[in-house]
Amino acid sequence: MTTLEPDTTAAITATVTAYLDAVSRGATADIAALYAENGTLEDPVGSEPRSGKAAITEFYGALEGRTQEIELLTLRVSGSSAAFHFRVVTPVGDKIYEIAPIDVMTFDEDAKITSMRAFWAPSDMISR
């Protein structure tokens, strides 16, 4: 088990905040830069996990240049892990889609994301 510095909570909180900001801006490179080189991504949970920066960058490429409204609803940091619930509002053409997933992440000693698992299902998506 990795021993983390006493300011781990602040560092992880900063990474989560940067992640949500980058997702809201559709900034693929900024999102991928928050992951450790051998990080993993499972979004949604139950889908095929992606591993490594190239696969993670490819996944988030779908967001490139797409602006979304994101609101952090709650964040809990414990040790080298965080769970957070947030709302995403995405305009697509004349529709607006909303979803409020719960992400669970683990982090290394540099507060880089080593794993991310997103808990949501298609039935959680609201269209208006």
Please identify which of the residues 19, 35, 60, 103 carries the catalytic annotation.
19
Please identify which of the residues 35, 43, 60, 103 carries the catalytic annotation.
43
pLDDT band at 23 (very low <50, low <70, confident <90, very high): very high
Yes or no: say if 117 and 49 are a contact pair by the CB < 8 Å rule.
Answer: no
- Report the pLDDT value the prediction gives residue 6, as an integer from 0 to 100: 57
Active site annotation includes 43? yes
pLDDT digits (tens, 9 = 90+) for 74-112: 999 999 999 999 999 999 899 999 999 999 999 999 999
Yes or no: say if 82 and 16 are a contact pair by the CB < 8 Å rule.
Answer: yes
Active site annotation includes 60? no
CA distance 19 to 127: 24
Residue 5 has pLDDT above 60, yes or no: no
pLDDT digits (tens, 9 = 90+) for 34-73: 999 999 999 999 999 999 999 999 999 999 989 999 999 9
Residue 7 has pLDDT above 90, yes or no: no
Pick the CATH number of 8-120 from 3.10.450.50, 3.40.50.10860, 3.40.50.40, 3.40.50.410: 3.10.450.50
- Report the pLDDT value the prediction gives residue 17, as an integer from 0 to 100: 98
Q: Which helix (H) or strand (E) is 10 found in, with range?
A: helix 8-25
Closest CA to 17 of 75, 68, 80: 75
Report yes or no on whether pTM surpasses 0.85.
Answer: yes
CA distance 121 to 105: 18
Domain boundaries, the chain: 8-120
Yes or no: say if 56 and 32 are a contact pair by the CB < 8 Å rule.
Answer: yes
**Averaged pLDDT for residues 21-41:** 97
- Report the pLDDT value the prediction gives residue 121, as an integer from 0 to 100: 96
pLDDT band at 1 (very low <50, low <70, confident <90, very high): very low
